[in-house]
Amino acid sequence: MKQQDKFLLSDLNTLGREFADNSPEEILRWVWGSYGCNAVMSSSFQTQSVPLLHMISKVCPEMVIVFIDTGLHFPETLAFRDELQERFRLHLKVIRPEFGPGENDDQMYRDDPDRCCYIRKVRCMYTFLQDNEIGAWVTGIRRGQTPQRSNIAELQPRPDGILHIHPLARWTTAQVTEYINKHDLPVHPLFNKGYISIGCGPCTKPVAATDDERQGRWSWTNKTECGLLQPVHEHTESALNAKTT
Ligand code: SF4
């Protein structure tokens, strides 16, 4: 059930203000109680994904966790995903892109990373959301990760009717580390080699301790996001079409 069928925008504004003081677990309880199996979380299974995956395993273990297998992940990421699935008994759903003519090009990231992300990530995620009538989409993004994310709220209605929920929006990197240590949870196998934020192998480089955590992503461009957080038909698709016409 889409957010606009379930809540008025004014309800969401009120809830959003309340959620600014609520714990991530309380927010997850609300999501599951309100949307049930129409709510999913997407995860890239990196170190900073661990606290929220752990919370979901405690609060709403039936929630589907969507992993987009672009075909270009580090093998360590796939192994870490499987390790966490087994340890937390996650309800994992792996989705993969479908390619049209000429689209399955593993070098596309170099010259046109926006198109590559659209084909390998955004389009298949959006298809999954539509096919399964998903109304609430949980992510682990945080305001402190990049300047572009500095204004995200715990609840963010999307123009396409899906409600984004970011339970860790106000968490700092230190809180992520503290949670992992407190619960004795694992980190991604490449984390201690400088891969603080990890996406596809070709687009991720290790960073120094003093760098921003996402500085190693698409480091040869000014790209900062894969486009998943944008409404696909309003941004990514039109942007790509504009580039090719
Ligand atoms: Fe392509 Fe890189 Fe985006 Fe992965 S992160 S989909 S390789 S541009």
Q: Along the 245 residues of the chain, how does pLDDT read in single tens digits?
A: 565 566 777 777 788 787 888 999 999 999 999 999 999 999 999 999 999 999 999 999 999 999 999 999 999 999 999 999 999 999 999 999 999 999 999 999 999 999 999 999 999 999 999 999 999 999 999 998 888 888 899 999 988 889 999 999 999 999 999 999 999 999 999 999 999 999 999 999 999 878 888 888 999 898 888 889 876 555 555 556 655 54
Separation CA 171–CA 145 (nearest Å)? 10
CB distance 109 to ligand 1 below 6 Å? yes
Separation CA 33–CA 39 (nearest Å)? 10
Separation CA 172–CA 57 (nearest Å)? 21
Judged by DSSP in three states, 151 sits in: coil
Residue type, position 125, single letter:
M
What tokens does 117 get? 């992300």
Atom 6, ligand 1: which residue's CA is nearest?
117
From the CA of 234, how far away is ligand 1's center (Å)? 20
Structural contact between residues 63 and 32, judged by C-beta atoms closer than 8 angstroms: yes
Q: What is the pTM of this model?
A: 0.92
Separation CA 60–CA 165 (nearest Å)? 14
Structural contact between residues 32 and 59, judged by C-beta atoms closer than 8 angstroms: yes
Structural contact between residues 135 and 1, judged by C-beta atoms closer than 8 angstroms: yes
From the CA of 27, how far away is ligand 1's center (Å)? 31
